[in-house]
C-alpha cells in the first residue's frame, strides 16, 4: 500500500513537472527583436496632433484608449474603461476606468488623465490647447459631437454629447483619442510630439528621424504583456529595397510591397503573406445636378457598361478586389446579399434607349492626379472606362487638375463623372455612408460628389446614427445599401487589398481594417 502511494506521489510529481515545463513552453513565445520595415517615417508621435498612418503605428503600440478595436476587426471592446453606460437621453456616457494602471513614466492612470487627453483638443482655455492644431479632432467633427468631458471621481468620467451620435464610441477608439500621460505631456509641452508616453504594451525608447523608432516591451502592462522584447520600426522608402531587406533577413515584416515583387515573395519558402481588403473604397460618382445623370436609368446603364474585372486586373494587380457596396467588406453591416451590376453592354444600351438616349451622349470623366490606395492610377482607370463607355455610345472626355484644385472643383460639384475614393477613419459605417452620401453632405463644399439626395436613404442612415443598439444599426445600414444599389449614384470600383509580407517565423500578426499595426500578440518562432 505504502509502495503504491509512493508510486502515486511520484507519478503526481512527474505530472506536475511535466505540466510546469509545458507552461514554460507557452512562455517560449516571449523574447526576441522584431524589425518592421515601413515606407515612411512618423511626422510626430502625439497621436492627437497627427493624421497619417505612419505616425499612428507608434500610437497603436504605445497608447491605449478608453475603448479599443478588437485587433483585426472594426468591433469595439473595453480598453482603459472597463465598462460604460449610456443615459436614456443618449447624450451622456459614463465610463468606469480601470484601476491600478500606470503610464510608462510611473504616473497613475485616472480620470484626470482622460480629461487632460481629450480636453486639450477642444477647450480653448486648456493650457495645452495652444499646442495644436488638433487635426483629427476637427476632421472627425468632434466639436459638433462633444459638449464636455467631466471627472466624476478618480475612476469615473462622464462625456456629455451635443447630439445623439452612436459612432462617437468608435471615434474614442481612434488614435487621436489615445490617453496620454498628463505629466509627460506637461513636461514636454510642445515637444510632446517627439516622444511618447502612454499605458500601452510597448514603451518608447528612441527616434532617429527618417531612420528608425525603437520601442521596448512594457513589463508592467495592465493586460496580457507583449511577447517580443523590442520592436524596431525601420524606414526603407523604396518598395523593392524593402523586399530585399526582408529576403536577406534584416527585417522581419514589411509594409506596402511593390505589386511586382508579390509573386517572388509567394515563391520564397522562407516568407509568407498576410492579406486583407482595406477599409476603403474607390468609386466613380455621377453628379446628379447635371444632366443626364439625374436619370436613374442612365446611372444604371453606366454601371452595366463598366467592366471592373478588367480595370482591377490592369491597375490594381494583386492589390484590389471589386466593390459592389459603398462599404468595404471588412466593415460590420456590409450587405453581402446585394447583387453586383453585371458587365453587360447590351443591357446598358437598352437602358440608355429607355432613357431616351439611344444615340448616347457626351460627358466628362474626371481623374485624380494622385495615387491613393483605393485608386493607384486614376488616369489609367479613366482611360479604360473611357473605352468601355464608348462601347455603349457614351463619349467621355478625361479631365484632370492638380490635386488641390481637383478637390476644390469637386467640392463645388463642377464635374460630371469623377473618380475619387475614401479611406475609413473609425470603422463605423456612418463614416462612409453619412460622410459620402447624406443629403447634409451635398451642401457645398460637398463631399457627396454624386449630389445624391434620397430621402429614404437619408432617414435610414440618420436613424442609424442616433441608435446605440448595434443590431438595430446593422439592419438599418443593410437596408440603406439596398437603396444605394438600386439608385446607383456611384459606380463602386474597388477596395484595395493590404498585403503584408513577413518571415514565416513571425507568428500571430493580424492586419487591421483600420490600417493599425499592433504587435502585442506577435511572437517569433525560434
Partner 1 sequence: MYRFILKRLGLLIPTLFGVITLVFFMLALSPGEPARVILGERANKEAVEKMNAELGLDKPMHIQYVIYLKKVVQLDFGKSIKTGQNVIDEIKARFPATIELAIFSMILASVLGIFVGVISATKRYSFWDYASMFGALFGVSMPVFWLGLVLIIIFSVNLNLLPTGGRMDIRYYFTPITNFYILDGIIHIFKTGDPKVLGSALTHLILPAVTLATIPLAIIARITRSSMLEVLKQDYIKTARATGMSERKVVFKYALRNALLPVITVIGLQFGMLLAGAILTETIFAWPGIGKWLYHAIESRDFPAVQGGIIVISTCFVIINLFVDLLYSVINPKIRTE
Q: Which stretch binds partner 1 (CB under 8 A): 228-236, 305-313, 391-399, 496-504?
A: 228-236
What is the rounded distance in angstroms from the CA atom of residue 454 to the CA atom of residue 149? 36
Choices 156-164, 175-183, 226-234, 486-494; region in contact with partner 1 by CB under 8 A: 226-234
Give ∠ CA 202-206-211 in degrees, rounded to 5: 110
Is residue 162 near partner 1 by the rule CB under 8 A? Answer: no
The number of CA neighbours under 13 Å toward the Cβ of 197 is 21
Q: Of 449 and 457, which CB lies nearer to partner 1 in the complex structure?
A: 449
Nearer residue to partner 1 within complex by CB, 37 or 320: 37
Sign of CA dihedral 82, 87, 88, 91: negative
According to the binding rule CB under 8 A, does residue 208 interact with partner 1? yes
**Does 33 sit near partner 1 (CB under 8 A)?**
yes
Burial 43-72 (b: 16+ CB within 10 A, else e): ebbbbbbbeebbbbbbbbbbbbbbbbbebb
Per-residue x/- mask for partner 1, residues 390 to 429, rule CB under 8 A? ------------xxxx-xx-----------xxxx------
Q: Which of 240, 387, 459, 525 binds partner 1 (CB under 8 A)?
A: 240
Candidates 71, 73, 138, 467: give the one binding partner 1 (CB under 8 A).
138
Please check whether residue 120 is in contact with residue 48, taking contact to mean a CB–CB distance below 8 angstroms: yes
Q: Is there binding between residue 212 and partner 1 (CB under 8 A)?
A: yes
Are 389 and 302 within 8 A, CB to CB? yes
Bridge-based pairing state of the strands 33-38 and 230-235: parallel
Task: Decide: is 157 part of the binding site for partner 1 (CB under 8 A).
Answer: no
- Per CB under 8 A, the segment of 94-102, 247-255, 359-367, 516-524 that binds partner 1 is 247-255
Question: Rounded to 10 degrees, what is the CA torsion of 98, 103, 108, 113?
Answer: -80
Which three cell numbers, joined as nine digits, stand for 326? 459603398
Verify binding: residue 260, partner 1, rule CB under 8 A: no
Region from 162-170, 209-217, 291-299, 379-387 binding partner 1, contact rule CB under 8 A: 209-217
Contact between 206 and partner 1 (CB under 8 A)? yes
Give the residue with the Cβ less far from partner 1, 79 or 239: 239
| Residue span binding partner 1 (CB under 8 A) among the ranges 43-51, 169-177, 356-364, 391-399 | 43-51
Find the binder of partner 1 among 250, 358, 391, 469 (CB under 8 A). 250
Sequence-ordered strand ranges (E) for 154-302: 156-161, 202-208, 212-217, 230-235, 253-254, 271-277, 280-286
User: CB-wise, 32 or 317, nearer to partner 1?
Assistant: 32
Options 48, 76, 161, 236; binder of partner 1; rule CB under 8 A: 236
- The three three-digit cell numbers of residue 30, written as one number: 516571449
- One character per residue 294-333, x = contact with partner 1 (rule: CB under 8 A): ----------------------------------------
How far is it, in rounded angstroms, from Cα 201 to Cα 268?
Answer: 32
Cell triple for 298: 442612365
- Whichever of 357 and 493 has its CB closer to partner 1, that residue is 493
C-alpha cell of residue 259: 505589386
Place of cell 453606366: 302
Window of 13-21, 76-84, 245-253, 316-324 that interacts with partner 1 by CB under 8 A: 245-253
Closest to partner 1 by CB, 154 or 250: 250
234 lies in the site for partner 1, by CB under 8 A: yes
Binding of residue 35 to partner 1 (CB under 8 A): yes
What is the DSSP annotation of 107-156?
Answer: PBPSHHHHHHHHHTTT-TTSTTGGG---HHHHHTTGGGTEEEEEEEETTE
Total residues in contact with partner 1, by rule CB under 8 A: 47
- Residue nearer to partner 1 on the CB measure, 108 or 268: 268
Where on the phi/psi map is residue 98: left (φ > 0), alpha (ψ -120 to 50), or beta? beta
Q: Which of residues 431-460 bind partner 1 (CB under 8 A)?
A: 445
Residue whose entry in the numeric block shows the C-alpha cell 495615387: 371
Greatest Cα pair distance, the chain, in angstroms, is: 102
Binding site for partner 1 (CB under 8 A): 33, 35, 41, 43-44, 49, 51, 133, 135, 138-139, 190, 193-194, 205-206, 208-212, 214, 230, 232, 234-238, 240-241, 244-245, 247-248, 250, 402-405, 407-408, 420-423, 445
Amino acid at each position: 500500500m505504502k509502495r503504491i502511494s509512493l508510486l502515486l506521489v511520484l507519478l503526481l510529481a512527474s505530472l506536475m513537472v511535466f505540466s510546469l515545463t509545458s507552461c514554460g513552453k507557452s512562455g517560449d513565445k516571449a523574447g526576441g527583436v522584431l524589425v518592421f520595415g515601413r515606407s515612411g517615417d512618423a511626422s510626430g508621435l502625439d497621436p492627437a496632433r497627427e493624421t497619417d498612418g505612419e505616425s499612428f503605428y507608434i500610437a497603436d503600440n504605445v497608447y491605449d484608449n478608453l475603448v479599443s478595436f478588437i485587433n483585426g476587426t472594426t468591433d469595439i471592446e473595453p480598453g482603459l474603461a472597463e465598462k460604460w453606460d449610456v443615459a436614456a437621453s443618449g447624450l451622456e456616457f459614463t465610463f468606469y476606468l480601470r484601476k491600478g494602471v500606470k503610464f510608462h513614466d510611473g504616473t497613475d492612470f485616472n480620470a484626470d488623465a482622460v480629461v487632460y487627453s481629450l480636453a486639450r483638443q477642444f477647450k480653448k482655455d486648456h493650457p495645452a490647447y495652444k499646442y495644436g492644431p488638433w487635426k483629427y479632432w476637427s476632421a472627425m467633427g468632434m466639436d459638433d459631437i462633444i459638449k464636455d468631458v467631466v471627472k466624476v471621481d478618480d475612476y469615473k468620467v462622464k462625456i456629455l454629447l451635443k447630439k445623439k451620435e452612436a459612432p462617437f464610441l468608435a471615434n474614442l477608439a481612434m488614435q487621436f483619442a489615445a490617453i496620454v500621460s498628463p505629466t509627460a505631456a506637461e513636461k514636454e509641452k510642445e515637444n510632446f510630439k517627439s516622444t511618447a508616453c502612454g499605458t500601452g504594451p510597448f514603451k518608447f525608447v528612441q527616434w532617429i528621424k527618417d531612420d528608425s523608432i525603437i520601442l521596448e516591451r512594457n513589463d508592467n502592462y495592465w493586460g496580457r504583456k507583449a511577447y517580443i522584447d523590442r520592436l524596431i520600426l525601420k524606414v526603407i522608402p523604396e518598395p523593392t529595397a524593402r523586399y530585399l531587406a526582408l529576403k536577406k533577413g534584416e527585417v522581419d515584416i514589411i509594409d506596402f510591397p511593390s505589386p511586382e515583387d508579390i509573386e517572388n515573395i509567394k515563391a520564397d519558402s522562407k516568407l509568407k503573406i498576410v492579406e486583407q481588403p482595406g477599409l476603403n473604397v474607390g468609386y466613380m460618382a455621377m453628379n446628379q445636378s447635371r444632366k443626364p445623370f439625374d436619370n436613374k436609368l442612365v446611372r444604371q446603364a453606366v454601371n452595366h457598361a463598366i467592366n471592373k474585372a478588367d480595370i482591377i486586373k490592369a491597375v490594381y494587380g494583386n492589390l484590389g478586389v471589386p466593390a459592389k457596396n459603398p462599404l468595404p467588406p471588412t466593415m460590420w453591416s456590409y450587405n453581402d446579399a446585394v447583387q453586383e451590376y453585371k458587365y453587360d453592354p447590351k443591357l446598358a444600351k437598352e437602358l440608355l434607349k429607355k432613357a431616351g438616349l439611344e444615340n448616347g451622349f457626351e460627358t466628362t470623366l474626371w481623374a485624380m492626379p494622385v495615387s491613393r490606395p483605393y485608386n493607384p492610377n486614376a488616369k489609367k482607370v479613366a482611360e479604360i472606362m473611357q473605352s468601355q463607355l464608348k462601347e455603349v455610345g457614351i463619349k467621355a472626355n478625361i479631365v484632370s487638375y492638380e490635386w488641390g484644385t481637383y478637390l476644390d472643383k469637386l467640392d463645388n460639384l463642377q464635374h460630371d463623372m469623377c473618380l475619387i475614393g475614401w479611406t475609413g477613419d473609425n470603422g463605423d459605417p456612418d463614416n462612409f455612408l453619412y460622410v459620402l452620401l447624406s443629403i447634409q453632405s451635398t451642401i457645398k463644399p460637398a463631399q457627396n460628389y454624386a449630389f445624391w439626395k434620397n430621402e429614404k436613404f437619408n432617414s435610414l442612415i440618420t436613424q442609424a446614427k442616433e441608435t446605440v443598439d448595434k443590431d438595430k444599426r446593422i439592419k438599418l445600414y443593410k437596408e440603406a445599401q439596398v437603396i444605394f444599389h438600386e439608385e446607383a449614384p456611384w459606380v463602386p470600383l474597388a477596395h484595395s487589398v493590404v498585403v503584408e509580407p513577413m518571415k514565416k517565423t513571425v507568428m500571430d500578426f493580424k492586419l487591421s481594417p483600420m490600417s493599425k499595426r499592433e504587435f502585442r500578440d506577435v511572437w517569433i518562432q525560434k
